[in-house]
């Protein structure tokens, strides 16, 4: 499955149903190769060093089920705001998603409007991905 508005809407729906409007909120959604949508949020832990990204739960769930992730989106909003921002996966989540290869699609913010998304393959987000050296792509 490719990244589409249905996947973005699933992340937004979870975010809005899970968090009160007066709190900062975020959520993620991912497609698996069989079209299933997995969603997750980040736990609010007292020690920021122990925090996890919004995507982590869905990544772990896909891995547990032995299903390939094909697309991922992460969204957020400020407290008392209806403006939903698209967040590209952080470097750690990119590493986690690369487990399923460079063709996984991720949502990134549109260059002129962070409330709109653009689908990019991980290989486009990370054109110089370190593992290419070991995969023989350096020749």
- The per-residue pLDDT for 134 is 81
CB 106: neighbour CB atoms within 10 A?
27
**What pTM did the predictor assign?**
0.93
pLDDT at 131 over 90: no
Which range among 19-23, 51-55, 117-121, 135-139 shows the weakest confidence by mean pLDDT? 135-139
Instruction: Render pLDDT for 28-38 as a digit per residue (tens, 0 to 9).
Output: 999 999 999 99
User: Quick one: what percent of the chain has pLDDT higher than 70?
Assistant: 97
- For the chain, domains (ranges, CATH) are 5-133 (3.40.140.10)
CA–CA distance, 71 with 43 (Å, rounded to integer): 22
In the DSSP assignment, the letter for residue 2 is -
């Amino acid at each position: 499955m490719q990244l589409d508005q249905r996947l973005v809407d699933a992340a937004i729906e979870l975010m809005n149903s899970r968090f009160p409007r007066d709190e900062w909120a975020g959520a993620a959604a991912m497609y698996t190769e069989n079209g299933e949508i997995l969603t997750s949020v980040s736990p609010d832990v007292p020690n920021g060093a122990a925090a996890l990204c919004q995507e982590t739960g869905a990544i772990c769930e896909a891995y547990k089920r032995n299903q390939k992730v094909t697309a991922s989106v992460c969204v957020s909003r400020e407290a008392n705001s209806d403006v939903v921002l698209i967040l590209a996966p952080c470097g750690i989540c990119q590493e986690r998603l690369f487990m399923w290869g460079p063709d996984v699609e991720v949502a990134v913010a549109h260059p002129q409007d962070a409330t709109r998304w653009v689908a990019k393959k991980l290989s486009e987000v990370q054109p110089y991905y370190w593992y290419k050296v070991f995969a023989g792509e350096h020749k």
